[in-house]
Amino acid sequence: MRWFAILPTILFAVSPALSIPLSEPPLHLLGKRDAVCGVDFRSLVNSKSCLPKQVAFTSTPPAVTKVTLPNASAASVPKDSQCDHTVELQVLDFVAKQAKLCEVLTAMANVGQKKDSLLGPASTTISGIQNLNFLDKVVNNNKRSVVQKALNGKPQGSQAKDAAVGNYLALVKGDSVQIASTLDANIATIITTAQTVLQKLPPGTTKRGDKDRINKEALTTALANYDKTKTVTAAWNNVLAVAPHS
């Protein structure tokens, strides 16, 4: 993890060609809200993570255009681009809360199964190149709000920049539904792991305050309350359906 962070800095220092900054803010998508069940996902992606795909989506709202980049260097990225997670962390966080996956993770953490390890595969999926695209910053910033409104069933705006979000999502639909489906598989694995762990937990005693008994009951309850019908696929399909477009 440490080398991951340091290496780009070294490359930056030795190669002037690589040090051309992208339009800012470079780490725009790394905000406080980028946590899933309270686990910080912020260090996963930066403005250069989208480079290997050599694709960007430029926009004159409401129009969005897919552009193939000549190479994977920052110099070829259109001005005013930001590296976007197509399926956003807020979608995963929303579903994790809605399905009560977070309670399962908390109960697992109490028996020594770390939340960030359990969420590792989902974080790899969401930060994989299939889910990353350079996107015009106006559309990208507005996308967060369109997605948030869609998740919460709030009415959408009707400006050109709102329609641009839906137009962008239509262009990346295929990849995004695959990502949503993989995230559901990652979540299913967490649940299977939790069921296996539960079976091996000591029952504890009926003594008041017995930790083993309390932990086992908590995980049993969390798994019973987990709602597998609340999927990333369903949430994402709803986003795709209600995002304004032209």
Question: Which residues contact ligand NAG by CB under 6 A?
Answer: 70-71, 73, 75-76
Measured at the alpha carbon of residue 224, what is the angle toward residues 222 and 225, in degrees to the nearest 5? Answer: 65
Whole-number minimum distance, CB 67 to ligand NAG, in Å? Answer: 11
Whole-number minimum distance, CB 93 to ligand NAG, in Å? Answer: 36
Instruction: Please identify, using beta-carbon distances, which residue of 5 and 75 lies nearer to ligand NAG.
Output: 75
Question: In terms of Cα–Cα distance, which of 33, 80, 73, 24 is closest to 57?
Answer: 80
Whole-number minimum distance, CB 78 to ligand NAG, in Å? Answer: 10
Question: In terms of Cα–Cα distance, which of 137, 142, 132 is closest to 165?
Answer: 142
Instruction: Please identify, using beta-carbon distances, which residue of 23 and 73 lies nearer to ligand NAG.
Output: 73
Q: Are 146 and 165 in contact (CB under 8 A)?
A: yes
Instruction: Please identify, using beta-carbon distances, which residue of 65 and 73 lies nearer to ligand NAG.
Output: 73
Whole-number minimum distance, CB 11 to ligand NAG, in Å? Answer: 13
Instruction: Please identify, using beta-carbon distances, which residue of 73 and 181 lies nearer to ligand NAG.
Output: 73
Residue 133 parent element (H or E): strand 132-136
Instruction: Please identify, using beta-carbon distances, which residue of 47 and 186 lies nearer to ligand NAG.
Output: 47
Whole-number minimum distance, CB 142 to ligand NAG, in Å? Answer: 27
Question: In terms of Cα–Cα distance, which of 52, 64, 184, 237 is closest to 135?
Answer: 64
Q: Are strands 35-36 and 39-40 parallel, antiparallel or unpaired?
A: antiparallel
